[in-house]
């Protein structure tokens, strides 16, 4: 169990993770209409899925992720996920790109745990969100280009 709290972090409400909230799509550049940047306007009645159920890695894994990896501080939302039947760490930038010191920390974490790190960059043109690029950093044995829609130059191996 963890006593960590989201407090004033709203990284997962700001649209960096795409989702539908009460039927309204959020996406990069389009935060949830209920997000005040300090919290949620409808906190007591927020939807169960995804709002109540979503918990980022920092929130639920205090032994793995130190305080400075809180999304509102480090600029990335981290989740554990599955890819090809194996565990991976996924990181989504809170903004266009994951800050370089955070990415360095995540890469070291991936090496230490022999886990692939999948992350992305959000692309904007004239202030408008136009999509994302996917990148992967992981063990030689795990990353196979044909398993992904990641272009070869966006795959880094250790
Ligand atoms: S990103 Fe994590 S810490 Fe921040 S509000 Fe979402 S669940 Fe809470
Ligand atoms: S309804 Fe509240 S908890 Fe859910 S995404 Fe919007 S601001 Fe966040």
Distance CA 129, CA 77 (A): 18
Residue linked to tokens 């407090």 = 7
Whether 65 lines ligand 1, by a CB cut-off of 6 Å, is: no
Q: Global pTM?
A: 0.93
Tell which one of 8, 34, 49, 71 to mutate to probe ligand 2, the residue whose CB is within 8 A of the most ligand atoms: 34
Looking at residue 2, its pLDDT comes to 72
Interior CA angle at 136 toward 135 and 137, to 5°? Answer: 135
Question: Each residue of 53-68: b (16+ CB within 10 Å) or e?
Answer: eeebbbbebeeebeee
Question: Cα of 155 to ligand 1 centre, how many Å?
Answer: 28
Q: Do 56 and 78 form a contact (C-beta atoms < 8 A)?
A: yes
The bound ligand whose nearest atom lies closest to the alpha carbon of 61 is 1
Looking at residue 148, its pLDDT comes to 61
Distance CA 15, CA 50 (A): 13
Q: Does domain 56-158 have CATH number 3.40.1350?
A: yes
Span 16-53, pLDDT tens digits: 999 999 999 999 999 999 999 889 999 999 999 999 99
Span 75-134, pLDDT tens digits: 999 999 887 777 899 999 999 999 999 999 999 999 999 899 999 999 999 999 999 999
Whether 51 lines ligand 2, by a CB cut-off of 6 Å, is: yes
Domain boundaries along the sequence of the chain:
8-54, 56-158
């Amino acid at each position: 169990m963890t006593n960590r709290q989201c407090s004033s972090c709203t990284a997962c409400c700001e649209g960096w993770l795409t989702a539908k909230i009460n039927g309204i799509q959020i996406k990069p550049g389009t935060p949830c209409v209920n997000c005040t940047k300090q919290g949620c306007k409808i906190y007591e009645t927020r939807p169960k899925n995804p709002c109540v159920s979503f918990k980022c890695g920092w929130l639920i894994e205090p032994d793995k992720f130190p305080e400075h990896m809180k999304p509102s501080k480090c600029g990335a939302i981290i989740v554990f996920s599955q890819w090809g039947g194996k565990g991976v760490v996924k990181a989504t930038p809170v903004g266009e790109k994951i800050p370089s010191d955070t990415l360095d920390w995540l890469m070291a974490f991936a090496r230490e745990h022999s886990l692939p790190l999948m992350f992305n960059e959000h692309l904007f043109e004239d202030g408008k969100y136009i999509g994302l690029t996917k990148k992967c950093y992981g063990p030689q044995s795990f990353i196979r280009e044909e398993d992904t829609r990641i272009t070869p130059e966006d795959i880094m191996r250790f």
